[in-house]
Structure 1
Amino acid sequence: MLSINDFTKAIRATLILWLITAIMYPLFILLFGQIFIPFQANGSLIKDNQNNIIGSSLIGQPFKSDQYFWSRPSVINYSTGDDAGDTGVSGASNLAPSNPELMEFITAQVDVLNSAKINPTIDLVYTSGSGLDPHITPESALNQVERVAIARNLEPNKLQDLVKSHTEERFLGIFGEPRVNVLKLNLALDNL
């Protein structure tokens, strides 16, 4: 039989846990982020010279022009708001390998890359699990050097050096793979 004393203990324990988990812990994390890692805590936003936000180093953006390095494809179009199909959320297509829609998507990506004379690599053909990946492999960036060099009338060697200087190595030397942030690379390209 439940007594009033047991009932009040349960209510107090619930309130204390709620106070810790719903108020104190989130406030601690918020303050920690703002004090020690404010750039990351505020979305890793990248600004131009006029202090306008032009993107985030954590979220991919579509680049269609031949004057820029192209990003990884996204089934959600990076939620730019340009298309009626944009959902504003991240996610993969969840299409099974046997699904004909997946093969159509892959074939279309390969055709676009071949028509631009870019050697198709996995990350330029397939979307990422989140649909928002801002990185491509150094190989994928180097495969695009000739197209960008022609469009911008630049020496390919200069662009190859730019790709190499913007290649991020493995985290702590062992985690992940070398990668290139496409937005940062394209911003550096504009500053050449």
Structure 2
Amino acid sequence: MSLTRDISRAIRSTLVLWILTAVLYPFAMLSFGQIAFSNQANGSLIRNAGGTVIGSALIGQPFESDRYFNSRPSTTSYSTADPNNDANSILKTGVSGASNYAPSNPELQKRVQSEVERLKQAGIQPTADLVYTSGSSLDPHISVEAARAQVARISRVRNIEANKLELLITQHTEGRFLGIFGEPGVNVLRLNLALDQSNA
């Protein structure tokens, strides 16, 4: 009789805890997120003037055209490669992640040197984040210095005054997290969207 009562109590306790932790708590957090942080809970999506989703503020995109501020390099090409046709093996580390090359690795040295030469030919002073990939290879930001290094090229290609581009960079510079963590940066997608809108 006592054993039956103990088993029954254990089953009831398990069901109550399961309902609390697997149903009610996730539902409460989902509801709170949708009410208090709707944009973040739905992926921090960025839309163009027509309302079409063009990306997320949290995930970088490859911008390589001279008409745009370029993103930092990515070992996974920002995961835009076709997994069924990945001839260059850019997705071999998965959809996110670093190359894990040591600083002495010849492949890394060759890639960095190639990137430095490309930037110099485009008239851009190489900065660390325009040469090296991020740990995730999905970083949506570049430094203010990296954005400013590209002003002359974009000004020439788009025939825009350099000070107008400098103003756009200033307007889209995000400060340190909580005012103390990290460094100021510029979200490349947001900046390029503003660039297109100002140069329409």
Is the pair's TM-score, using the shorter chain for normalization, greater than 0.5?
Answer: yes
Residue 66 of structure 2: aligned partner: 66
Determine the C-alpha separation between the residues in 2 that align with 1:76 and 1:18.
Answer: 39
Residue 191 of structure 1: aligned partner: 197
- The TM-score with structure 1 as length reference comes to 0.90
CA displacement at 1:6 relative to structure 2: 4.6
**Deviations 1:60-81 (Å, cap 9, x if unpaired)?**
1111110100011111111124
- 1:170 alignment partner, one of 164, 171, 176: 176
For 1:19-38, list aligned pairs within 5 A: 19-38=19-38
Residue 99 of structure 1: aligned partner: 105
**Per the alignment, do residues 14 and 190 of structure 1 end up closer, same or farther by CA in structure 2, a change over 3 Å counting?**
same
For 1:114-133, list aligned pairs within 5 A: 114-133=120-139
CA displacement at 1:172 relative to structure 2: 2.4
Determine the C-alpha separation between the residues in 1 that align with 2:111 and 2:8.
Answer: 60
Determine the C-alpha separation between the residues in 1 that align with 2:90 and 2:18.
Answer: 36
CA displacement at 1:10 relative to structure 2: 4.2
**Per the alignment, do residues 111 and 50 of structure 1 end up closer, same or farther by CA in structure 2, a change over 3 Å counting?**
same
Preserved CA contact (<8 Å) 1:77 1:86? yes
**Per the alignment, do residues 137 and 7 of structure 1 end up closer, same or farther by CA in structure 2, a change over 3 Å counting?**
same
Listed as ranges, the gaps of 5+ residues in structure 1 are none
**Per the alignment, do residues 16 and 104 of structure 1 end up closer, same or farther by CA in structure 2, a change over 3 Å counting?**
farther
Question: What secondary structure does 2:123 align onto?
Answer: coil
Please tell me the residue identity of whatever aligns with 1:19.
Answer: I
How many residues align? The count is: 191
Bigger shift: residues 78-87 or 98-107: 78-87
Percent of aligned positions that are identical: 59
Determine the C-alpha separation between the residues in 1 that align with 2:22 and 2:104.
Answer: 44
- The TM-score with structure 2 as length reference comes to 0.86
Please tell me the residue identity of whatever aligns with 2:157.
Answer: A
Question: What secondary structure does 2:163 align onto?
Answer: helix
**Deviations 1:107-138 (Å, cap 9, x if unpaired)?**
22212211211111111111111111100110
Preserved CA contact (<8 Å) 1:80 1:86? no
Listed as ranges, the gaps of 5+ residues in structure 2 are none
CA displacement at 1:95 relative to structure 2: 1.8
Q: Quote the RMSD (CA, aligned, Å).
A: 2.0
